């Protein structure tokens, strides 16, 4: 295979498939919100500018995150209580998930706007009961579905340069057209976003440090330097996909420190480390789980699909060495057929030697 150098230590099993695992228990509102918050890799800060919920006091689990989210209008500011130990219902999980992904202005993501949000990003069927209880597995599926939709969405992107060079940004910085930054209407300050030009599959990681653009139909303005990395500036406007990586102080885009790993296949079947969201080109990824897992297939950056169908027992592992940049998609499942897709973006990291390069 031209894209991957596989090393496999597994064999086909002949034992019967295991019985389906028991369903997860419903999440509490506190635990559900903290799962959603953790998934976006955004820090929470101490704040004295808003009154905390009366039932989530300093020292309680999630106090800082819940209080900060209240200030940022992710949680409802008008309520005195959060009811952290009540069961999480689908309606709240949806609104919080949409808000943490910043799909719109906070004032346009009230509960009465939920039908419009669902119409725009239909992450569930219209028949589902919005007051049904949410399990951990259901919440992960909900977040993954929305994140996939957002990453596949195509945006119109332009750039700004000389006319704004040296001016102040919406966040009080000085705009430098030679830095890798961008303006976006809703993404938080210091969010890292991978922007991929769909015409040539070239990507650049930018930091959000300004608001805008304010031209109808445009979704992002890149700095001149960022735009030139993925397109000829003479084109003026390109179409691109966005992958939100997290806050610059939390997300790791190239390396080990702070890297995000996708560990869970199902509730009780997990990788020891897992598949990272970003991975250095030329290095070897080793996959080992606490139970049997099946690597069904791999989709490579050029769209080629390899039908792997390899079973890996817990005492052995599967290793792969990506040899080209871009997005890899791994479809992993358990013995009883339940599974999920995990995505990994491979990139060249400064100072690392590429195998075969």
Whole-number pLDDT of residue 350:
57
Q: Per the structure, how many domains does the chain have?
A: 3
49: Cα separation from own chain's centroid: 29
Verify that 102 and 112 share a domain, yes or no.
yes
204-254 pLDDT, tens digit per residue, is 889 999 999 989 999 999 999 999 999 998 899 999 999 998 898 777 666
Whole-number pLDDT of residue 354:
44
Verify that 277 and 178 share a domain, yes or no.
no
CATH, residue 228? 2.40.40.10
State yes or no: pLDDT of 291 exceeds 70: yes
Verify that 61 and 126 share a domain, yes or no.
yes
Would you state the torsion angle of the CA atoms of residues 38, 318, 151, 110, taken in this order, to the nearest 10 degrees? -30
Question: Out of 25-29, 193-197, 271-275, which region has the weakest mean confidence (pLDDT)?
Answer: 271-275
Judge whether 357 lies within some domain: no
Judge whether 353 lies within some domain: no
Verify that 44 and 133 share a domain, yes or no.
yes
Verify that 170 and 278 share a domain, yes or no.
no
Residue 343 φ/ψ, nearest 5 degrees: -110, 145
Mean pLDDT of 124-131: 92
Whole-number pLDDT of residue 36:
95
Domain that holds residue 190: 154-247
As a whole number of angstroms, the distance between CA 271 and CA 293 comes to 9
Residue 56 φ/ψ, nearest 5 degrees: -130, 95
Verify that 12 and 79 share a domain, yes or no.
no
44-60 pLDDT, tens digit per residue, is 987 677 889 999 998 89
Verify that 159 and 120 share a domain, yes or no.
no
CA distances from 267 to 9, 23, 25, 324 (A): 24, 8, 10, 32
Q: Give 220's Cβ-side CA count (13 Å radius).
A: 27
Judge whether 197 lies within some domain: yes
Verify that 71 and 141 share a domain, yes or no.
yes
State yes or no: pLDDT of 257 exceeds 70: no
As a whole number of angstroms, the distance between CA 124 and CA 270 comes to 25
| Domain final residue, candidates 218, 247, 276 | 247
Indicate the pTM of the whole model: 0.70
| Domain final residue, candidates 152, 183, 215 | 152
């Amino acid at each position: 295979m031209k894209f991957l150098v596989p090393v496999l230590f597994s064999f086909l099993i002949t034992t019967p498939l295991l019985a389906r695992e028991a369903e997860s228990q419903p999440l509490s509102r506190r635990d559900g919100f903290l799962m959603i918050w953790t998934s976006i890799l955004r820090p929470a800060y101490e704040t004295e500018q808003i009154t905390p919920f009366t039932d989530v006091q300093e020292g309680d689990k999630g106090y800082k995150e819940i209080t900060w989210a209240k200030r940022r209008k992710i949680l409802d500011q008008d309520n005195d209580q959060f009811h952290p130990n009540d069961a999480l219902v689908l309606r709240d999980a949806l609104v919080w998930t949409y808000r943490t992904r910043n799909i719109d202005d906070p004032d346009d993501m009230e509960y009465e706007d939920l039908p419009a949000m669902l119409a725009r990003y239909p992450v569930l069927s219209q028949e589902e009961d919005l007051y049904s209880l949410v399990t951990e597995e259901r919440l992960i599926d909900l977040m993954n579905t929305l994140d996939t939709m957002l990453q596949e969405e195509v945006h119109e992107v332009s750039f700004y340069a000389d006319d704004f060079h040296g001016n102040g940004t919406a966040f009080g910085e000085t705009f430098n057209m030679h830095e890798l930054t961008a303006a976006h209407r809703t993404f938080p300050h210091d969010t890292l976003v991978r922007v991929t030009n769909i015409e040539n599959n070239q990507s650049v990681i930018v930091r959000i440090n300004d608001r805008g653009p304010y031209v109808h139909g445009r979704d992002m303005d890149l700095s001149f330097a960022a735009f030139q990395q993925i397109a000829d500036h003479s084109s003026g406007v390109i179409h691109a996909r966005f992958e939100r990586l997290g806050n610059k102080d939390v997300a790791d885009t190239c390396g080990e420190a702070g890297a995000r790993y996708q560990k869970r296949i199902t509730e009780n079947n997990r990788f020891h480390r897992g598949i990272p969201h970003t991975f250095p080109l030329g290095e070897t990824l080793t996959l080992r789980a606490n139970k049997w897992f099946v690597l069904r297939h791999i989709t490579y950056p050029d769209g080629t699909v390899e039908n792997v169908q390899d079973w890996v027992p817990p005492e052995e592992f599967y290793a792969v060495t990506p040899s080209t940049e871009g997005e890899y998609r791994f479809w992993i499942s358990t013995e009883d057929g339940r599974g999920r897709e995990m995505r990994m973006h491979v990139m060249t990291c400064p100072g690392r030697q590429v195998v075969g390069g």
